[in-house]
A and B are shown apart, each in its own frame.
Chain A
Amino acid sequence: MADRADHIAARIAGLVAERVPRVDAVAGEARIRELGLDSVAVMDLVMAVEDQYEVIFPLERLAEIETIDDLTRVVRGLIEQRMASS
């Protein structure tokens, strides 16, 4: 289970890094807005994460997200929810 969590964290950090110019890797505690992503870029990031894990990430939950770790935490919860309901 820990492996799986690490994998999700790494994959999400990768999706973030793809969107930040001149950056190859980002730390989990990095604040997403400080990486230079504007509000639309953050929503586009969320869309890519949704597709990666076949989940719905409600926009209203963006308020909970400051760091990449926050994003990973919410996505893990959404994946667990999806698996529990399927």
Chain B
Amino acid sequence: MSLLNHLAPLRDAYRRLTQAGGDPFDVGFDAILSPTEGVLNGRRMLLLGTNNYLGLTFDPACVAAGAQALEMQGTGTTGSRIANGTYGGHRALEEQLARFYGRRSAMVFTTGYQANLGMLSSLVGPGDHIVIDADSHASIYDGVKLSRATVTRFRHNDPDDLGRRLGRLPTGGNTLIVVEGVYSMLGDSAPLAEIAALKREHGAYLLVDEAHSMGVLGEKGRGLAEAAGVEADVDFIVGTFSKSLGAIGGFCVSDVPDFDLLRLASRPYMFTASLPPSIIASVAAALERLQQEPGLRRRLSDNARHLHGALVAAGLAVGPEPTPIISIELASPELAIAFWNRLIEQGIYINLALPPATPRGIALLRSSVSAAHTREQLDRVVGAVSTIAGELGVTPRRRRAVSE
């Protein structure tokens, strides 16, 4: 009886899936050449699964800001935000985020995962209720577990179902509704106007995770709440620095009174070291670029529409909306892995997503488009995907988009 015996089903599934060839869960790049190119096992790869929406990872201003902070302030803070780990840069970045969103307060966390853990675990407690979208990210599921509130799920992107469940909640305690701007697997966005109306009707609070929509949606790039015109109804916006801002870290902005008390209540904020000064500096520079260059967002949106349209035209079953996350649904995990391996042979890296990380037990090849992709790169992807789909007998069984 081994200690890890409880993981036997996982081990068996993993063996089954990887015996066909390469291991999609153990990719290690030899080098990264640009936001859209890298080297894998000696071969040049076109990168189409990086969440690098604005392509800022090699932006000269961001790199220079990070390098200067590294030189001047060292490699790390070696401490918590509530001890020695808050520098001027951390405070300045929080002020910059609050200004960007037009909010009173902001808190910066060490990762996006911890931002959700940190907020959800401390905003509500025993006797309160949290209602989350069924397709929520793992960080939301883990965060609500830490809250000790009563947790219930509503059907993905279904405001009627949310309304029914809100109506069933017992009286007493606060209610927090949690949704995402753009969902990370199929790239579909939340029906936020309807959800905001329910929030008002039931006197609940609303938290929106804009991890995949910050810098992507909205005229100013503030995300889905801005695009849907309901920012006033959103009490908490959570986001990450590891996607459109090209680094790592997370944040929450809000107008609620006493927000700063959370700094002394949120364990994922307190009991971890703060972000290194170089990351803080590159993120601050990236947020400037996001605000000053709306052209990046336009290019991203054009690229997303182009790839989504071309894949739909090629008969592939893709997600319902042309957001930068464009996923191809395949009939089985085995087929998805075979497809993934063939793309690698063609010099194209894409994400593979399998159940239970995916909704409804589906297997996905998940791409994320960047503003830095050229039309030629995207057309090369469409060509390769169409050819492999033909070779593997992936029939255009559904020409309509995948949605429920």
Interface positions of A (Cβ within 8 A of B): 38-41, 43-44, 47, 50-51, 54-60, 85
Contact = CB atoms under 8 A, between A and B. Distances in A.
19 contacts: A38-B356, A40-B356, A40-B361, A43-B134, A47-B153, A47-B155, A50-B168, A54-B168, A56-B165, A56-B168, A56-B169, A56-B170, A57-B152, A58-B150, A59-B144, A59-B151, A59-B152, A60-B148, A60-B150
Contacts of A44: 134
B355 interface: yes
Interface in B136-159: 144-145, 148, 150-153, 155
Q: Residue among B152, B164, B355 with the most chain A CB within 10 A?
A: B152
Interface in B329-355: 355
Contacts of B164: 51
Given A38-B355, A40-B355, A40-B356, A58 B151 contact: yes
A59 B154 CA distance: 12
Contacts of B151: 58-60
Given A38-B356, A43-B134, A60-B145, A55 B168 contact: yes
Contact of B170 (A50, A51, A59, A85): A85
Contacts of B150: 56, 58, 60
Contacts of A85: 170
Interface in B148-183: 148, 150-153, 155, 164-165, 168-170
B393 to A, nearest CB: 23
Interface size classification for chain B: 10 to 19
Nearest to A63: B145
Contacts of A51: 164
B47 to A, nearest CB: 28
Contacts of A50: 152, 165, 168
Nearest to A62: B151
A43 B133 CA distance: 12
Nearest to B359: A40
Contacts of A41: 356, 361
Contact of B134 (A38, A47, A54): A47
A59 B356 contact: no
B153 A59 contact: yes
Nearest to B169: A56
Interface string B311-327: 00000000000000000
Nearest to A44: B134
B370 to A, nearest CB: 29
Contacts of B153: 43, 47, 59
A39 B134 contact: no
Nearest to A46: B153
A83 B315 CA distance: 51
Contacts of B361: 38, 40-41
B357 to A, nearest CB: 9
Contacts of B148: 60
Q: Which 6 residue pairs spanning A and B have beta carbons closest together?
A: A59-B151, A38-B356, A40-B356, A58-B150, A56-B168, A56-B152
Contacts of A56: 150, 152, 165, 168-170
A3 B40 CA distance: 64
Contacts of A47: 134, 153, 155
Nearest to A43: B153
A20 B134 CA distance: 20
A22 to B, nearest CB: 15
A44 B144 CA distance: 17
Interface in B351-392: 355-356, 359, 361
B61 to A, nearest CB: 42
Scoring B153, B164, B165 by chain A CB atoms within 10 A of each residue's CB, the highest score goes to B153
